[in-house]
Homo-oligomer: A and B are copies of this chain.
Amino acid sequence: MTSAPGSPLTGRARLTDVAALAGVSVGTASKALSGGGRMRPETRQRVLDAVAALGFRPNQQAQSLHTGRSWTVGLVTTDGIGRFSTPVLLGAEDALGAGKISVLMCDTRGDAIREQHHLRTLLDRRVDGIIVTGRRTDARAPLTGVTGLESIPVVYALSPSTDPADTSVVSDDQGGARLAMEHLLATGRTRIAHVTGPEHHAAARDRARHAVAHLQAAPLGLSTGRVHFGEWSEAWGRRAADAVLRTAPDTDAFFCGNDQIARGVADTLRERGVDVPGDIAVVGYDNWDTMALASRPPLTTIDMNLAEIGRIAALRLLEAIDADATPGVHTVPCRLVVREST
């Protein structure tokens, strides 16, 4: 018996097999598949029939070797895959998948050595581009230290690059703070306190700065006269709420740096018998559903549209791959999600 079609290596049909079955040469079979070039319709049909009969699918590696495009991008997460990077990652994967591009996942766990290692692997695999994302909004140093990096496009998502010549896609912290403040002011609050995370986090600093700036335009000031920096935790929210009520008992709203803090604040208020939102309104940040929805009452909060950040980063990367890069920092607007805490 003659040997069955199928490579000795993969067991799958090759273009040679298709060509043989269709009674044409590989060259013709190839052209029939790539769609271009003129050829007799019935010949093309014979090839397509053979393809169907054999369940042929082109070997991506062979194609790439020839065309120089791997249809693959690297997704490098700098400090673990968590609550923030996951939606970004999914948004990116979604946008790329539509473009027939696959995603190589690399988690560096915040380790420089690991990062170098992963970058080298990605370049060895001839990825068409790289998306870098981290959990913080603080700017990070651009990728370096691996030869070949210069020749492929890189887009930074969520954590922008410190180099303005790079392409970064970030959340609009200013807009987020503004949405929160406008909402509180619109619902008649004027004695607003701000409780947030550590001052050394850009997210905390930026949101605070913009919140204050927006108040001053009213013109108003923070009810306690200052920003309460602390931790991104419920425990800090609880403690801070106590402190705020002691300092400024007439506070009528809390704008919190994240949903955990907001939930802590809400808990303290409830336990003190303060009605939320009747007496005091609470606004969080992140729209982390498990937090925002489990809170009593459920939290009004700011959604950073993380998936959209990932999606846009992917689109920018595709642009940079196919045409030209659009350097600079691209900002994705936030969304106010109103629930029962305001």
Chain A residues in contact with chain B, CB under 8 A?
9-12, 55, 57-62, 64-65, 68, 70, 72, 75, 80-82, 86, 89-90, 93-94, 97, 100, 102-107, 117-118, 120-126, 147-148, 151, 233-235, 260, 290-291, 294
A65 touching B65 by the CB < 8 A rule? Answer: yes
Q: Which of A11, A118, A122, A294 has the most CB of B within 10 A?
A: A294
Q: List 3 A-B pairs, minimum CB-CB distance, nearest first.
A: A9-B68, A55-B147, A105-B105
What residues on B are CB-neighbors of A58 within 8 Å? 124
A22 to chain B, nearest CB (A): 18
What residues on B are CB-neighbors of A55 within 8 Å? 147-148
Closest to A7 in B: B68
**A81 to B75, alpha carbons, bound, how many Å?**
15
A124 touching B9 by the CB < 8 A rule? Answer: no
B89 touching A81 by the CB < 8 A rule? Answer: yes
A100 to chain B, nearest CB (A): 8
Closest to A121 in B: B102
A173 to chain B, nearest CB (A): 22
Closest to A263 in B: B294
Closest to A6 in B: B151
What residues on B are CB-neighbors of A147 within 8 Å? 55
* Contact A124-B59, Cβ < 8 Å, known A9-B68, A104-B102, A260-B294: yes
Extra inter-chain contacts (15) besides given A10-B68, A97-B117, CB under 8 Å: A9-B68, A57-B123, A61-B65, A61-B70, A61-B126, A72-B104, A72-B125, A81-B81, A86-B86, A90-B107, A102-B104, A102-B121, A102-B122, A103-B105, A290-B290
A293 to chain B, nearest CB (A): 8
What residues on B are CB-neighbors of A65 within 8 Å? 59, 61-62, 65
* Contact A148-B9, Cβ < 8 Å, known A65-B62, A104-B105: no
What residues on B are CB-neighbors of A151 within 8 Å? 10-12
Contact of A104 among B62, B89, B104, B233 (CB under 8 A): B104
* Contact A105-B75, Cβ < 8 Å, known A81-B90, A233-B294: yes
* Contact A57-B148, Cβ < 8 Å, known A68-B10, A89-B81, A126-B10: yes
